[in-house]
Amino acid sequence: MAELRSKIWIEEHGAGLPEWQRTAFGEFAAMIAGPGSEYPCVPGHRGFVSNNLRYGFAPDPRTDRAVSDTAELLSAYGECARETGRYASLVIFYETPEDLTNTADVREYELLFWSLLNRLHDKDPAPWPGDIPQDPGTSTWEFCFAGEPYFAFCATPAHGRRRSRHFSSFLIAFQPRWIFDEINETTAFGRNISRMIREKLAAYDDVPVHASLKWYGQPDNQEWKQYFLRDDETSPSRCPFMAMKNKFQK
């Protein structure tokens, strides 16, 4: 059974975790809050140091078990997320075998990410929230599970130039939509956070800040384009989530 963990729990009991899980968490901690870390995600850094983040571990993301474990983790997380703090997020590390790490490129991981979200959606027992459009082409669409909308962030071993999307194993972070109630273009706090992130991204990555990074609800915004950023400045011509959903429903 997949279980939610906190930073404090892992620091106290991590010796009992499998080696790949200890390694993944240790590398994440060093990346986001280690000495000299310049990682651009300011809310992520604050969430880590304040123990707002929650963590989960899942097997090879290509497997059905990974989908089932992700569903379990998200279901449990949805019930407690609001109690964890203003910088809440669920970070899921996936065991990534060498055959995947050594051979998959960014585009293959992109397909894997969208396939996992699509299969996760198929396991969702709850109806799609009435206040979230079901068309990803709209500016206020967001991926939903168990009645909760989430921004989904993916990092992979194949990313190189876009260093902010690189991690040693396949990783997805689910950020509840409600954390952006204060982090948006209508608040001075949100505008300041956005400016800081963009400045850090420009310095951290070896490619320009992606043109798809926009505010939720902006007329030309499409959230799905921000979930998985390629190593270059391109984006898919249409949302893979909807394309897969329509394909499997035929």
What is the pLDDT at residue 246?
Answer: 58
Q: Tell me the C-alpha distance between 27 and 166, whole Å.
A: 11
What is the pLDDT at residue 186?
Answer: 76
Q: What amino acid occupies position 96?
A: T
Cα 193 off chain centre by: 18
- DSSP per-residue string spanning 63-114: SHHHHHHHHHHHHHHHHHGGGS-TT-EEEEEE---HHHHHH--HHHHHHHHH
Q: For residue 150, which of 59, 220, 193, 88 has the smallest C-alpha distance?
A: 88
Q: Is 11 helix (H, G, I), strand (E, B) or coil?
A: helix
What is the pLDDT at residue 183?
Answer: 78
Compute the residue count for the chain. 250
pLDDT averaged over 10-residue windows placed end to end, the chain, 250 residues: 94 96 98 94 95 98 98 97 96 97 97 96 94 92 96 98 98 96 81 91 96 89 96 92 57
Cα 63 off chain centre by: 18
- How many domains would you assign to the chain? 1
What is the pLDDT at residue 248?
Answer: 42
- What residue numbers bound the domain in which 204 lies? 5-249
What is the pLDDT at residue 250?
Answer: 38
Please report which residue ranges of the chain form alpha helices under DSSP H. 7-13, 19-33, 42-49, 64-80, 98-103, 106-122, 188-204, 224-227, 240-249
